[in-house]
């Protein structure tokens, strides 16, 4: 039911650079079935015919798009974003093409998912900080001209970024340019860690690591207005193996059980986590420090953290208390589709109120 949403962000498009020796940066689809009649772009954007309040954005980038050579091999595209924003010529070509591409596919905006500017381990450079601002400013200026000439609504511009990345952006300038920031307040812990921890701890972390409330406060302190900050919430969990003790912070030996459908070690869609719990093999616990649940299978030494309706409601309490702009999920298809998307529906009913029930 697309009425649950105000905006849907399609992930992902990519940046095609053409010839690396003489690049021209343009948006391109990741998959052939994104384009054309009946393609996935059209399927998503056709939802607006039934739900006229709905807006759609195309996200470009994503985590793997900035995987370095050590991970992605010789075809790594980790250099692309930094190069694309490095000169006005490159930026201008990308922006002009992006506006045409978005309009042709009937998207209402662009979400920049560069993970992450200035991060040298993922292809970034120090000058990305200023160049990213320039890209955003020039995009909005060009979009304003296009909107006036075409008579269409101004294209939206947002970004998605890591919870601990506030200092890598010129937020004093971006707050007057971006429509909002999608803060990825999840993936605080996962199978890459030496000990168990919460995927999206809200109120605290026993090791002193980052947690949701701490990250939000940092962004607010750095100057982003509360109503421009959208709180990310996960409809998935993270699992660990080799865990001898159910208590959070216990030693682990790596990424744990994978979901039957999602199929990635250490990753469980919410519906997959629920199936494991309902099997009776896992005992569930509540962590009062982080305000999140977790589950443990003593026989298999298997442990995972996740979010449930209780913890999601507490996240909504928090975002309302802070006056944040809203909530967003990664991702729609990971919620429990067998049972009417309970996590997403919980947030939609609280933030949108009677509009959800009335189909507005």
Catalytic residues: 115
Element (H, E) at 292: strand 292-297
Strands 26-29 and 7-16: antiparallel
**Both tokens assigned to 76:** 């790594």
Q: How far apart are CA 56 and CA 35, in angstroms?
A: 15
Strands 326-330 and 229-234: parallel
∠ CA 340-263-4, nearest 5°, is 25
**336 Cβ contact list (under 8 Å, min separation 6):** 270, 271, 274, 342, 343
Across-strand partners of 110? 58, 157
Relative orientation angle of helices 342-352 and 309-322, to the nearest 10 degrees: 30
């Amino acid at each position: 039911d697309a009425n649950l949403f105000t905006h849907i962000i399609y992930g992902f498009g990519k940046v095609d650079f053409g010839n690396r020796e003489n690049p021209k940066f343009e948006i391109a689809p990741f998959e052939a079935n994104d384009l054309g009649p009946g393609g996935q772009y059209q399927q998503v954007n056709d939802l607006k015919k039934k739900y006229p309040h709905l807006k759609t954005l195309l996200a470009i980038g994503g985590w793997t798009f900035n995987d370095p050579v050590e991970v992605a091999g010789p075809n790594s595209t980790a250099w692309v974003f930094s190069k694309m924003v490095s000169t006005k010529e490159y930026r201008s070509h990308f922006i002009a093409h992006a506006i045409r591409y978005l309009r042709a596919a009937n998207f209402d905006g662009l979400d920049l998912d560069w993970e992450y500017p200035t991060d040298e381990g993922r292809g970034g450079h120090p000058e990305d900080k200023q160049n990213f601002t320039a890209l955003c400013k020039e995009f909005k200026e060009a979009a304003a001209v296009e909107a006036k000439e075409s008579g269409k609504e101004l294209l939206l511009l947002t970004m998605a970024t890591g919870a601990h990345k506030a200092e890598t952006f010129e937020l004093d300038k971006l707050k007057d340019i971006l429509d909002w920031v999608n803060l990825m307040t999840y993936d605080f812990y996962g199978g890459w860690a030496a000990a168990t921890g919460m995927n999206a701890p809200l109120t605290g972390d026993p090791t002193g690591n980052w947690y949701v409330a701490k990250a939000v406060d940092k962004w607010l302190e750095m100057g982003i207005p509360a109503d421009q900050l959208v709180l990310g919430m996960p409809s998935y969990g993270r699992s660990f193996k080799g865990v001898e003790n159910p208590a959070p912070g216990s030693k682990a030996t790596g990424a744990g059980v994978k979901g039957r459908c999602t199929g990635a070690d250490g990753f469980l869609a919410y519906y997959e986590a629920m199936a494991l719990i309902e099997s009776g093999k896992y005992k569930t616990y509540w962590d009062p420090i982080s305000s999140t649940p977790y589950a443990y299978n003593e026989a298999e030494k298997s442990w995972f953290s996740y979010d449930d309706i209780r913890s999601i409601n507490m996240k909504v309490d928090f975002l309302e208390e802070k006056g944040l702009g809203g909530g967003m999920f990664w991702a729609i298809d990971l919620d429990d589709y067998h049972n009417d998307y309970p996590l997403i529906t919980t947030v939609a009913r609280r933030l949108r109120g009677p509009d959800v029930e009335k189909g507005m």
